[in-house]
């Protein structure tokens, strides 16, 4: 009679677990391997729905979830969540070569939570791409992936300089240029690229100069957080009447 053996990962020195720890902790390891980690049932369900095949998929032993079983406390120790997790997976990163519009371009947005939240807003308003300029956080870092709430599997990401972005370019700058709704109403904004600057310094002068429009979201304080501004701008653009 054939006997079936089910193995479970129980050693912290297991090679897959070592790779996952490194991928989660270091941007350099992610960029050289081209792989990243997502954790939790909701994120993995979003990946499944979007047709992403994991390279490695692990689950807590006895959870009944898909994947290779790992001793639950060991899996929890890999998690970046305070509460641990019951499943995680490794995927190949996907980058598109050319940004498509409707596009959000981020310049110097350092905070991975903001990058992930921009992806979430981009998915909500049907943007075709999020393009990352210099000094942006890694969209495949664990914090960005979590903040994206699965949008990292839905919205293509590109590395791009401003010259490669689809026009028209609308630079978002607090208190500068026209109100964004005026630009929307007066046309010329069909599927633009929205340019968003860094949390501290905003957009540099050369990016403002390269833009076709400079616009602000009218507010009663000095400025919004970068991800909030991107989401409100996407909403404003989504209200454009069809061509
Ligand atoms: C926290 S803000 C940068 C604030 C920076 N100290 C400044 O004065 O530009 C980050 C980015 O969000 C966008 N942003 C924030 N508030 C905005 C507003 N009211 N209108 C348009 N864009 C805004 C801009 O792209 C800005 O570069």
Residue of 101, 100, 63, 102 whose CA lies nearest to 85? 63
pLDDT of 192 reads 93
pLDDT of 122 reads 98
Atom of ligand 1 nearest to the CA of 109: 10
* 109 close to 118: Cβ distance less than 8 angstroms: yes
For the whole model, what pTM was predicted?
0.95
Mutate to test the pocket of ligand 1, among 176, 179, 202 (most ligand atoms within 8 A of CB): 202
Residue of 103, 68, 71, 97 whose CA lies nearest to 84? 71
* 149 close to 122: Cβ distance less than 8 angstroms: no
Residues within a 6 A CB radius of ligand 1: 172-174, 196-197, 199-200, 202-203, 216-217, 219, 223-226, 229
pLDDT of 240 reads 73
Q: What percent of the chain has pLDDT over 70?
A: 94
Query: What is the pLDDT confidence band of residue 241, given thresholds at 50, 70 and 90?
Result: low
Query: What is the pLDDT confidence band of residue 81, given thresholds at 50, 70 and 90?
Result: confident
pLDDT of 187 reads 63
Tally of residues, the chain: 243
Phi/psi region, residue 81 (left: phi>0; alpha: psi -120 to 50; beta: rest), is beta
Question: What is the rounded CA–CA span in Å between residue 151 and residue 218?
Answer: 28
Which tens digits make up the pLDDT trace of 126-147? 999 999 999 999 999 999 999 9
Question: What is the rounded CA–CA span in Å between residue 103 and residue 234?
Answer: 9
Number of Cβ within a 10 Å radius of residue 205: 8
State the DSSP string of 4-59. Answer: -----B--TT-HHHHHHHHHHH-HHHHHHHTEEEEESHHHHHHHHHTTPPPSEEEE
d(CA 64, ligand 1 centre) in Å: 46
User: In whole angstroms, how large is the CA radius of gyration of the chain?
Assistant: 20
């Amino acid at each position: 009679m054939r006997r079936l053996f089910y193995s479970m990962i129980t050693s912290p020195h297991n090679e897959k677990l070592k790779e996952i720890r490194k991928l989660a902790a270091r941007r350099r390891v992610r960029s050289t391997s081209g792989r990243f980690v997502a954790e939790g049932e909701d994120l993995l369900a979003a990946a499944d729905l979007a047709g992403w095949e994991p390279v490695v998929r692990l689950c807590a032993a006895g959870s009944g979830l898909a994947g290779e079983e790992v001793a639950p406390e060991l899996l929890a120790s890999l998690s970046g969540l305070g509460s641990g997790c019951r499943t995680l997976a490794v995927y190949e990163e996907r980058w598109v070569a050319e940004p498509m519009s409707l596009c959000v371009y981020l310049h110097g947005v350092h905070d991975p939570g903001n990058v992930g939240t921009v992806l979430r807003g981009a998915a909500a308003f049907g943007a075709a791409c999020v393009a990352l300029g210099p000094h942006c956080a890694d969209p495949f870092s664990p914090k960005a992936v979590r903040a994206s709430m699965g949008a990292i599997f839905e919205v293509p990401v590109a590395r791009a300089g401003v010259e490669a972005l689809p026009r028209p370019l609308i630079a978002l700058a607090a208190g500068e240029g026209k109100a964004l709704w005026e630009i929307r109403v007066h046309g010329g904004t069909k599927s633009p690229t929205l340019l968003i600057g860094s949390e501290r310094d905003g957009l540099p002068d050369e990016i403002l100069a390269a833009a076709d429009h400079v616009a602000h979201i009218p507010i009663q304080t000095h400025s919004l957080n970068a991800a909030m501004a991107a989401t409100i701008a996407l909403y404003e653009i989504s209200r454009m009447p069809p061509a």
